[in-house]
Amino acid sequence: MILVPGLISLDFADVKNIMKNSGKAVMGFGVSKGEDAAFKATKKAMNSPLIEDNRIEEAQGILVHITGSEKNISLDDVENATELIYNSAHYNSNLLFGVSIVSEMKEEVSVTVMATNFVSKNDKGVLVS
């Protein structure tokens, strides 16, 4: 995620920004190939057993990293995949994404999702003093 140079890169500062004072963090991973591979891999990552009882919908910090070859991933694919997460995310979430082109991926697209700072999706963020 942060060690592989990318078309759109995530770096340590991005990870630090999402993780700072965030409480627990979970990661999901998905791989798919064929038509809409990035979208399908994103759905798999969002529903990964590693995420367990935590819901992307309740995460206020989300990092997404998409990896594929130049032949199997386009910016439209990236947009569709990140839009899936954005539309599912908490209204106040900080969503950062990166994309790496790795020719060895051939037909597969992999998606890693890191989610942190979990709150109720219905939380309106009201402060009581």
CB 36 within 8 A of CB 111: no
Mean of the per-residue pLDDT values of the chain? 80
Longest dimension (CA), the chain: 55
Question: 122: buried, middle or exposed (CB in 10 Å: 19+, 13-18, 0-12)?
Answer: exposed
Entry pTM: 0.79
**Other C-beta atoms within 10 Å of 40: how many?**
19
Higher local confidence (pLDDT), 10 or 86 = 86
For the segment 84-101, what is each residue's pLDDT rounded down to a tens digit?
Answer: 998 988 888 888 888 888
Report all structural domains of the chain as residue ranges with CATH numbers, in order of start: 12-118 (3.40.50.1440)
